[in-house]
């Protein structure tokens, strides 16, 4: 862990682009599924997931979903439903509507806003299958009005008996309309290009291993994809008023995710810096994921002291963290100075897990410094816009000379003529 | 050109991913500029653009911009200014503001919306340098509030004497804050990673040749990029009321762009189909870019007849065209049925060049079927959002059990503890 002045610290973690072999494997799988459809999809599922399926077994049945409800605990279901209600309410505020603007000259200009028609969500298998991420991915699409939301997850998820029931329940609760037991690059290719059993989608979302990430890059263009998530990170910007127990607990809640995660304290208080260092050591000792958290702190953890909050904000803006906590005497005063952060948690009662699970804002956030230019997953990500232009005869006559001047300057004579041909004949036929 | 029923027609044009050699060349250039900064940038500018520059000569001077104003015609400048005013007015309507929502329990949730800080625009050299595209790229960033807008264009643009004055004037009028005479993959790398002379940007926009497109793909992640434009296309959806001269002129205004462009008529009227075919032949004969337009029509042009407008809309939605014209008896009645189109031009007085140059909506639109999931360039593309979460002590106590339940289910004990540690001590220190 780096401890010291902010000047000396630089957080650098490379994005994963895969080895040439991994890229070649993914290219082969994607091409095969694109060309052969179900046949290749089932072949790779047997080879890689060790599960032999017939086409009619790909889709998860209504009975399986109903059975899943019997397997989850009532307190889990209650918490999940409350989280879903909060996430839905927050994302409802992001909705946009079409608009049109009519002018006195008869011109109408506008923007037609529509949901995507069909979206696919990848849910990884095993321990990385998080019900909370199902909510966070599906509910913005649902609020946007996407009518077809498809979930895919490897058939091995949750062992031989089938798909993890918690995932099935989270999917059903959040409004998934179809689920398929497929995984890996072959699942991404099936979503992007479609097969006999699985119609193609317009956008593929969700996290996965390196093969899934490379497959998403490979199909981008044929479909839209969400961002490719990097390792997670938190920065706590704190003054002397902060409780070091809280700060350390919050740093550890990020560090336990994985060894690549980064937890950084930026503070004006030497005393707080020392106290947090001690608290980290004390609290990490009893964590089930102690080894992961320790490795994360060792490699990517830092306690940085700054002269004042203005320097603190500069450090934060340079790091552009996924999660930022602000625990200060007047935290809301500092918001205007925060240029780059995925989510901002304000004050002593807003630990990051509040946002991960419950409050309502999305937990799928820009990582690895990309908060400089990107945003939390939101309803806009599942909407598309079309501009609308209706010119009147009057407006076209008024603007024809200007349009023709610009078109001819660019050497596009047919553009100028498409306007001028309408001036000759008076009213259109 | 394909002429016949819509069922038999399929428009397929591959996206450009470059040859392995081109990809390797781009990788080398990008890495060199990333590592060596100005030295590599100047070396490749000399090697590829045949212009030897010193670092202090990279930036376009105020004097050059002033001199450019003396070189452009008054009617060009007047038309450009009117277009800029219209584009600004339309994009002003897309602006978004931050919002916060305070609840009775003391919780505040919100979304902070901010402009990107620094954006780079690539303008290709030679004949592909379009002043109208400078407006369409820069003005949405300007309206979004981006404080630093950087334009780069090859030093060879406009011949040995310097940069095309029309580009300089368009840049100055639309609010570009810095301009550099660099081009190719080396310019994209300089924008993405920064050099001694050119600070790094947060997003790179604008069209270019295959090397520029591959460089944009290569730097994506370090910075944001806009979409990579494919060949342009138009679909005219028309009933018997349409004037065949107008329809043909509009198809040609797209076909003249390049040989890969596509112009398609979808109509319920056999009579119109025949008349447009004859008009195309007549009108193309006198075009300066006749050979390009003819090649485009031959390879990617089509006249498709459909049984009714409902089938017509289905064909349109499948093609998901960049530009769609609707010339029908009651065109506004059809808007609700259009699912996929970049821009929709309604009625007989809305030829596509109206939107290319003047009306106000953006002319940078999703191509090659991507209107299924993407949108015209707009103000949102230059904004980023941060969620804001301020929980109260009361809200945290109320929600703690639910949050801890979900966190522990996912095996993330430190997440649960970060919440629970705040319950023990009463008020925070």
CATH number of the domain that residue B100 is part of: 3.40.50.1980
What is the chain B residue with the closest CA to A244?
B429
A173, A256, A322, A352: which one is catalytic? A322
A239, A294, A323, A363: which one is catalytic? A323
Asked if B323 is an active-site residue, the reply is yes
Taking the CA atoms of chain B, what radius of gyration do you get in angstroms? 26
Share of chain B residues as helix, strand and coil, in percent rounded to the nearest 5:
50, 15, 35
CB contact under 8 A, A384 and B371: yes
A287 and A148 in a common domain: no
The pLDDT confidence band at residue B161, using thresholds 50, 70 and 90, is low
Stretch A231-243: mean pLDDT, rounded? 95
- pLDDT at position A354 is 97
**Region of poorest pLDDT, from A27-31, A140-144, B4-8:** B4-8
**Spatial distance between the Cα atoms of B8 and B28, rounded to a whole number of angstroms:** 44
Taking the CA atoms of chain A, what radius of gyration do you get in angstroms? 26
A412 and A355 in a common domain: no
B205 and B132 in a common domain: yes
Cβ-Cβ contacts under 8 Å between A and B: the total is 369
A408-427 burial: b if 16+ Cβ within 10 Å, else e = ebbebbbbbbbbbbbeeeee
- pLDDT at position A160 is 45
Could you tell me where the DSSP H helices lie in A37-164?
38-49, 62-71, 74-92, 131-144
B409 and B270 in a common domain: no
Could you tell me where the DSSP H helices lie in A114-263?
131-144, 165-174, 184-193, 210-219, 244-255
A46 and A108 in a common domain: yes
Of B303, B298, B233, B239, nearest to B265 by C-alpha is: B303
Of A76, A49, A84, A68, nearest to A164 by C-alpha is: A68
**Considering the domain boundaries, does residue A380 fall inside one?**
no
Given B289, B342, B376, which is nearest A414 (Cβ)? B289
B259 and B219 in a common domain: no
Question: For chain A, what is the domain count?
Answer: 3
What is the chain B residue with the closest CA to A230?
B221
pLDDT tens-digit readout, B298-341 = 999 999 999 999 999 999 999 999 999 999 999 999 999 999 99
**Considering the domain boundaries, does residue A375 fall inside one?**
no
Of B117, B172, B114, nearest to B139 by C-alpha is: B172
Question: B372: which chain A residues are within 8 Å (Cβ-Cβ)?
Answer: 116-117, 202, 384
**Considering the domain boundaries, does residue B368 fall inside one?**
no
**Considering the domain boundaries, does residue B151 fall inside one?**
yes
- pLDDT at position A427 is 55
> Which A-chain residues 139-198 have CB contacts (< 8 A) with chain B?
166
**Considering the domain boundaries, does residue A381 fall inside one?**
no
Q: How far is CA A309 from CA A6, A151, A242, A338, A346, in A?
A: 12, 44, 14, 11, 15
CB contact under 8 A, B246 and A422: yes
- Domain range for B203 is 20-106+113-225
**Considering the domain boundaries, does residue B373 fall inside one?**
no
- pLDDT at position B220 is 86
- Picking from B176, B202, B225, the residue at the C-terminal end of a domain is B225
ipTM entry: 0.93
Half-sphere exposure of A13 (CA within 13 A, CB side): 20
What is the chain A residue with the closest CA to B385?
A375
CB contact under 8 A, A256 and B361: no
Question: Mind telling me how many Å the CA of B160 is from chain A's nearest CA?
Answer: 20
CB contact under 8 A, A417 and B243: no
Chain B contact for A218 (CB, 8 A cutoff): no
pLDDT tens-digit readout, A271-290 = 999 999 999 999 999 999 99
pLDDT tens-digit readout, B74-131 = 999 999 999 999 999 999 999 999 999 999 999 999 999 999 999 999 998 877 789 9
Which tokens belong to B226? 């806009």
Which tokens belong to A252? 């550890």
A218 and A123 in a common domain: yes
**Considering the domain boundaries, does residue B377 fall inside one?**
no
> Which A-chain residues 219-258 have CB contacts (< 8 A) with chain B?
221, 223-224, 228, 241-243, 245-246, 249-250, 252-253, 255-257
**Spatial distance between the Cα atoms of A345 and A322, rounded to a whole number of angstroms:** 11
Question: Mind telling me how many Å the CA of A302 is from chain B's nearest CA?
Answer: 18
Annotated binding site of B for Zn(2+): 254, 257, 356, 415
B316 and B175 in a common domain: no
CB contact under 8 A, A418 and B352: yes
Which tokens belong to B403? 């949050």
Annotated binding site of A: 122, 186, 209, 232, 254, 257, 323, 356, 410, 415
Given A131, A349, A429, which is nearest B391 (Cβ)? A349
CB contact under 8 A, A388 and B75: no
The pLDDT confidence band at residue B48, using thresholds 50, 70 and 90, is very high
Q: Is the pLDDT of residue A23 over 90?
A: no
- Picking from B225, B246, B279, the residue at the C-terminal end of a domain is B225
B220 and B234 in a common domain: no
The pLDDT confidence band at residue B160, using thresholds 50, 70 and 90, is very low
Chain A contact for B359 (CB, 8 A cutoff): yes
**Considering the domain boundaries, does residue B380 fall inside one?**
no
Chain A contact for B364 (CB, 8 A cutoff): no
Asked if A323 is an active-site residue, the reply is yes
Q: Are strands A108-115 and A383-390 parallel, antiparallel or unpaired?
A: antiparallel
- pLDDT at position A159 is 44
B173, B256, B279, B323: which one is catalytic? B323
B282 and B199 in a common domain: no
CB contact under 8 A, A351 and B132: no
**Region of poorest pLDDT, from A158-162, A258-262, A307-311, B208-212:** A158-162
CB-CB contact of B283 with B246 (8 Å): no
Range with the largest mean pLDDT of A48-52, B154-158, B185-189 = B185-189
CB contact under 8 A, B385 and A378: yes
A67 and A33 in a common domain: yes
B252 and B187 in a common domain: no
CB contact under 8 A, B393 and A108: no
């Amino acid at each position: 862990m780096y401890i010291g002045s902010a000047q000396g610290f630089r957080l650098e973690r490379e994005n994963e682009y895969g080895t040439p072999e991994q890229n070649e494997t993914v290219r082969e799988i994607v091409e095969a599924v694109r060309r052969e459809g179900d046949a290749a999809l089932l072949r790779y599922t047997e080879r890689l997931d060790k599960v032999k399926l017939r086409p009619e077994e790909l889709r998860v049945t209504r009975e399986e979903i109903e059975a899943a409800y019997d397997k989850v605990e009532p307190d889990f279901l209650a918490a999940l439903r409350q989280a879903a209600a909060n996430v839905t309410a927050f994302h409802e505020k992001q909705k946009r509507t079409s608009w049109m603007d009519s002018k006195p000259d008869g011109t109408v200009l506008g923007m037609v806003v529509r949901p995507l028609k069909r979206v696919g969500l990848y849910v990884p298998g095993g321990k990385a299958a998080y019900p909370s991420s199902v909510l966070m991915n599906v509910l913005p699409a649902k609020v946007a009005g996407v009518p077809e939301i498809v979930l895919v997850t490897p058939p091995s998820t949750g062992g031989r008996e089938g798909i993890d029931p918690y995932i099935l329940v989270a999917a059903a609760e959040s409004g998934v309309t179809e689920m398929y037991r497929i995984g890996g690059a072959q699942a991404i290719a099936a979503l992007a290009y479609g097969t006999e059993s699985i119609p193609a989608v317009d956008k593929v979302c969700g996290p996965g291993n390196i093969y899934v990430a490379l497959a998403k890059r490979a199909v981008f263009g044929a479909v839209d994809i969400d961002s490719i998530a990097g390792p997670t990170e938190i920065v706590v910007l704190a003054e002397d008023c902060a409780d070091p127990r809280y700060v350390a607990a919050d740093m550890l809640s990020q560090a336990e995710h994985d060894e690549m995660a980064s937890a950084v304290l930026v503070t004006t208080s030497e005393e707080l810096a020392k106290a947090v260092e001690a608290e980290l050591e004390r609290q990490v000792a009893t964590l089930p994921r102690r080894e992961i958290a320790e490795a994360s702190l060792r490699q990517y953890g830092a306690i940085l002291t700054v002269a004042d909050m203005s320097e603190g904000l500069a450090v934060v803006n340079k790091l552009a963290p996924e999660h930022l906590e602000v625990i200060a005497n007047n935290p809301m005063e500092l918001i205007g100075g925060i240029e780059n952060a995925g989510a901002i948690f304000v004050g002593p009662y807003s630990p990051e897990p509040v946002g991960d699970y419950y409050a309502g804002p999305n937990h799928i956030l820009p990582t690895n410094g990309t908060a400089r230019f990107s945003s939390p997953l939101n309803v806009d990500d599942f909407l598309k816009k079309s501009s609308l232009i209706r010119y009147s005869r009057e407006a076209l006559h008024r603007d024809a000379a200007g349009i023709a001047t610009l078109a001819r300057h660019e050497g596009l004579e047919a553009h100028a003529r498409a306007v001028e041909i309408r001036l000759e004949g008076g009213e259109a036929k």
